[in-house]
Amino acid sequence: MTDLRLRIVDAADALYYRRGIGQVGMDAVRDAAGVSLRALYKEFPSKDDLIVAVLEKRHRMWVDGVTTAVERIEDARERLLAVYDYLAGWFDEADFRGCGFINAFGELGAANADVARVVRAHKSDFQRYVAGLVRDAGGPESLAPQLAILAEGAQTTAAIAGTPDAASQARAAAAMLIDVAFGTSSH
């Protein structure tokens, strides 16, 4: 990605995440990125193109963040819980406004096939990632979607409640599910 393209995507991402996609026009992105409208439209012929680029950036950020958190842990079962530890750190950030994908889908998903496609691909990728962690831990296949749903629900709950508590609550629920799935108890 060129420096100009990256600057535009970063500016749009910050604005979209803070204010919502529908509340941000291309003029605001132009101003925040410090580029001409002509340069902006040369890089992104439409706002939809820019929205997709922002979501692709957010996907890379999510994958890098979750993967880094999980890879720090050696124990395969504890790696499953590291996802929720990552969420706890994210939810505690001052500018946390929820999942950018859920937000984008809520705003545009029904009316914008490209946004719906990118959001669904992101969520499917996360589910596949969790399924891989469950497989590596020797857990049953049915555990993966349960853990993924807990993570998704925690993101929405944290954004709406305005507190990071949902991460620890989801982690505790995930630990119980893991214990049941593995026939063990940590209590």
Which letter does DSSP use for residue 163 in this model? S
Element holding 140 (H helix, E strand): none
CATH number at residue 98: 1.10.357.10
Q: What is the pLDDT tens value at each position of the chain, 187 positions in all?
A: 799 999 999 999 999 999 999 999 999 999 999 999 999 999 999 999 999 999 999 999 999 999 999 999 999 999 999 999 999 999 999 999 999 999 999 999 889 999 999 999 999 999 999 999 999 999 999 999 999 999 999 999 999 999 999 999 999 999 999 999 998 755 4
Angle ∠(12,82,74) on CA atoms, nearest 5: 125
CA distances, 3 to each of 43, 62, 166, 170 (Å): 11, 21, 37, 38
Residues 86 and 115 in one domain: yes
Boundaries of domain holding 124: 47-182
Residues 13 and 55 in one domain: no
Residue 99 structure tokens: 């999942």
88 and 168 in contact (C-beta within 8 Å)? yes
Residue 48 structure tokens: 């939809």
Residues 40 and 51 in one domain: no
174 and 147 in contact (C-beta within 8 Å)? yes
- Residue 173 is predicted with a pLDDT of 98
Which letter does DSSP use for residue 93 in this model? S
Does 171 map to a domain?
A: yes
Residues 37 and 98 in one domain: no
Report the domain count for the chain: 2
Does 187 map to a domain?
A: no
Residues 80 and 28 in one domain: no
Does 172 map to a domain?
A: yes
* Cα(124)–Cα(24) distance, integer angstroms: 28
Residue 114 structure tokens: 């490209």
